[in-house]
Amino acid sequence: MNDQHLHIIAFNVPWPANYGGVIDVFYRARALSEAGVKVHLHCFEYGRGKQEVLDFCHELHYYKRDTSPLRQLGRRPYIVASRRSKELVNRLLQDDYPILCEGIHTAALLEEESLKGRRIFVRMHNIEQDYYRQLGRAEKKWWKRCYYFAEARKLERYEPILERASGILAITEKDAAALSARYANVTLLSPSCATDKVTAQTGRGEFVLYHGNLSVRENDEAANWLLDNVFSKLSIPCVIAGLNPSQQLCDRIDKMPFVTLHANLTEEKMREMIRNAQVNVLVTHQPTGLKLKLLNSLYQGRHCVVNNDMVRGTDLGALCTLADNGPEMMTAIAKLWDKPFTEKDVQRRQEALSALYDNRANAMKVLDLL
């Protein structure tokens, strides 16, 4: 391959790769680098710091995200306005390499007259206005609810900026269909994840697990729903694991004899937790995007019990046991609790997942677009 360069604009520092969007960013960037692409990674930093593990990139640059409340006052969505950088634009003008914006969060580059005519692609991790409306509906605090609904309106008005993109990379078939109805040059690009080899252990596990970034309202809500409707009614070990749980969630779990909390695990410890579980239970009430924690569970874990919203718009339902309410989930868990995970199960998963979620194949798909 002749030298192929690509600028990737990341909405956050993509390491540790421990929640949805950054998992996709990190493993795509690494797969492209392994394929011979000289990756110029630009990260908006707001709390994660510089990360040596990203040194596989040809160039690595950090920009401070402007989280001032003033960024909420303009016409641009806050997630976009807080990631505008003249320093970034000036650096991009030093060459004519293609640019991949990770999320509409970083798509303000499409507004820049100085970059007009440049090949700029946007990876859409969600239909963001739908995601923010769902956050608003789930939020109990009135002022946060107002913010989410206002941001959703701004995102809906801002989204047509995508007409200027050279290509739009949708994360699910459902999102691809929605975006294709509004824009040209939409391509389905399945997410990249920690592995493209099923490493699930055969045999039986030791507990039922729910995991996620617990500082995210959607995941905190799911954890509390599971406590109310499933885990509090089971007499088998249940674990909730994830980042930055609320004090309210910690206090609830402390009072439940069969439920334990594992907070702020390293990536390796979280992988070990997923592998050791007998059943990974995943719930969402926001059917937007693709939940990368589900992919991680399918690659690394044994049986998966999920609700329909978790797999909506994907073809992953056939690899899971579907249950939408507490009694259905308890019944599903009871059936799977004593059921060993077999080599045949591993092979079936590998064949199904390899068809869509191969990191190298997805990297080649990006290269074809470039």
pLDDT tens for each residue of 128-162? 999 999 889 888 889 999 999 999 999 999 999 99
Q: Identify whether 350 is part of a domain.
A: no
Look at residue 120 and tell me whether its pLDDT is greater than 60.
Answer: yes
Q: Identify whether 29 is part of a domain.
A: yes
pLDDT of residue 289: 57
Q: Are residues 307 and 364 part of one domain?
A: no
pLDDT of residue 216: 83
The overall average pLDDT reported for the chain is 92
Q: Are residues 19 and 151 part of one domain?
A: yes
Q: Identify whether 120 is part of a domain.
A: yes
Q: Identify whether 176 is part of a domain.
A: yes
Q: Are residues 185 and 52 part of one domain?
A: yes
Residues with Cβ within 8 Å of 311's Cβ and at least 6 positions away in sequence, in order, are 294, 317, 320, 322
Q: Are residues 299 and 164 part of one domain?
A: no
Look at residue 182 and tell me whether its pLDDT is greater than 90.
Answer: yes
Q: Are residues 116 and 27 part of one domain?
A: yes
Give phi and psi for 36, each to the nearest 5.
100, 0
Q: Identify whether 112 is part of a domain.
A: yes
Percent helix, percent strand, percent coil in the chain, to nearest 5: 45, 20, 35
- Lowest-confidence pick of 36-45, 56-65, 303-312: 303-312
pTM attached to this predicted model: 0.81
Q: Identify whether 108 is part of a domain.
A: yes
Among candidate residues 331, 314, 140, the one with its CA nearest the CA of residue 224: 140
Q: Are residues 225 and 167 part of one domain?
A: no
Give phi and psi for 37, each to the nearest 5.
-75, 140
CATH number, position 64: 3.40.50.2000
Q: Are residues 230 and 159 part of one domain?
A: no
Q: Identify whether 292 is part of a domain.
A: yes
Indicate the number of domains in the chain. 2
pLDDT of residue 358: 84
Look at residue 179 and tell me whether its pLDDT is greater than 90.
Answer: yes
Residue with the larger pLDDT of the pair 18 and 181: 181
263/251 Cα distance (integer angstroms) = 13
Q: Identify whether 346 is part of a domain.
A: no
Q: Are residues 221 and 99 part of one domain?
A: no
* Look-up of token digits 């596990």: 205
Q: Are residues 329 and 287 part of one domain?
A: yes
- Residue 214 is part of which domain span? 208-341
101/68 Cα distance (integer angstroms) = 22
Q: Are residues 137 and 44 part of one domain?
A: yes
pLDDT of residue 288: 63
Q: Are residues 300 and 244 part of one domain?
A: yes
Q: Are residues 181 and 221 part of one domain?
A: no
Residue by residue, DSSP assigns 17-67 as --SHHHHHHHHHHHHHHHTTEEEEEEEEESSS---GGGGGSSEEEEEE---
Look at residue 175 and tell me whether its pLDDT is greater than 60.
Answer: yes
pLDDT of residue 1: 44
